[in-house]
Amino acid sequence: MGTKYTEDHEWITVDGDTATVGVTDYAQQQLGDVVFVETPDEGNAVSKGGEAGVIESVKAASEIYAPATGEIVEGNSALADDPALINSAPEGDGWLFKMTLSDAGELDDLMDAAAYKSYVEGLE
């Protein structure tokens, strides 16, 4: 399964038992300069659509949502010292957290890359 996308402009990539989650390039453009990220703690249970942290930009705080139900394995510790990674590498080194999935089927109705691209074009 390739990377999937949510309407909240987050991406999720599954690799074996864990999935990595981040925000998209479109999201970081909307957020502006990121100054602080609160990633969820290891061991936290999250549900699809539930809160999983906060991204603070200069102007405002934005919630991060869990795109699926599962348990947090790791928050990206690099973001503590360099929150701006979200701006410079949102779909790479600026990943937010890794999680296990309770039900990989929850990802079926998320958008693939092409669908997300159209979705974003429709917003602009």
Partner 1 sequence: MSDDADVKNLPLDSIHRELGAKMVPFAGYSMPIQYKDGIIAEHTATRTAAGLFDVSHMGQVRLRGDDPAKALETIVPADIQGLAVGRVRYTMFTNDKGGVLDDLMVARDEQGLLLVINAACKAADIEHMQSAIGNQCEIEVIEDNALIALQGPKAASVIGQYTTAARHMLFMHHQHLRIKDVSISITRSGYTGEDGFEISIPSDAVEEFVQLLLDEPDVSPVGLGARDSLRLEAGLCLYGNDLDPDTTPIEAGLAWSIQSRRREEGGFPGHAIIKDQIDNGAPRKRIGLKLEGRAPARAGAEIANKNGDIIGTVTSGGFGPTVGGPVAMGYIETDAGTKGDSVDIMVRGKPLAAEITSPVIVPHRYHTV
The type of residue at 99 is: M
User: What six digits make up the tokens of 48?
Assistant: 């699809």
Asked if 39 contacts 96 with a C-beta cutoff of 8 angstroms, the reply is yes
Both ends of the chain: CA-CA distance in Å?
28
Could you say which of 41, 45, 50, 59 contacts partner 1 (CB under 8 A)? 59
Asked if 36 contacts 84 with a C-beta cutoff of 8 angstroms, the reply is no
Select from 17-25, 54-62, 66-74, 91-99 the region that touches partner 1 (CB under 8 A): 54-62
DSSP-derived secondary structure letter, 49? T
Site string for partner 1, 64-103 (x = CB under 8 A): ----------------x--x---x----------------
Select from 8-16, 19-27, 35-43, 115-123 the region that touches partner 1 (CB under 8 A): 35-43
123 contributes a contact to partner 1 by CB under 8 A:
no
